[in-house]
Amino acid sequence: MTNTFAFKTTEGRNAVYKAYDTFLGNMRIPHEEVNIDTRFGKAFVIAAGKKDAPVLVLLHGSGINSVMWIGDMVKYSEHYSTEDEV
């Protein structure tokens, strides 16, 4: 597996990371940010909801990140333990 990078410049990467962190900081529900080891490297997971509820895993598509699920996680977390894997 070859590493490819999504950012053309360090400044661009930093700007995207800053915006992403701002979105996560504005989540309206309690959540946990976790890095999970996989055989392909680390996976960043945003976990929310009731710990004893059924798990609902939300996967984003290509060209987007977990910010797309932030609004939906508010509703889903009422009934599920949600995990958005990046």
User: Is residue 9 domain-resident?
Assistant: no
User: Is residue 7 domain-resident?
Assistant: no
Nearest residue to 46 via CA among 23, 62, 78, 63:
23
| Residue 61: domain span | 30-85
User: Is residue 71 domain-resident?
Assistant: yes
User: Is residue 41 domain-resident?
Assistant: yes
User: Is residue 22 domain-resident?
Assistant: no
User: Is residue 70 domain-resident?
Assistant: yes
pTM higher than 0.75, yes or no? no
- pLDDT number for residue 38: 92
- Looking up tokens 């990467």 gives 13
Low-confidence ranges of the chain (pLDDT < 70): 1-4, 82-86
- pLDDT number for residue 63: 75
How many structural domains compose the chain? 1
Quick one: CA dihedral 27, 61, 58, 44, positive or negative? negative
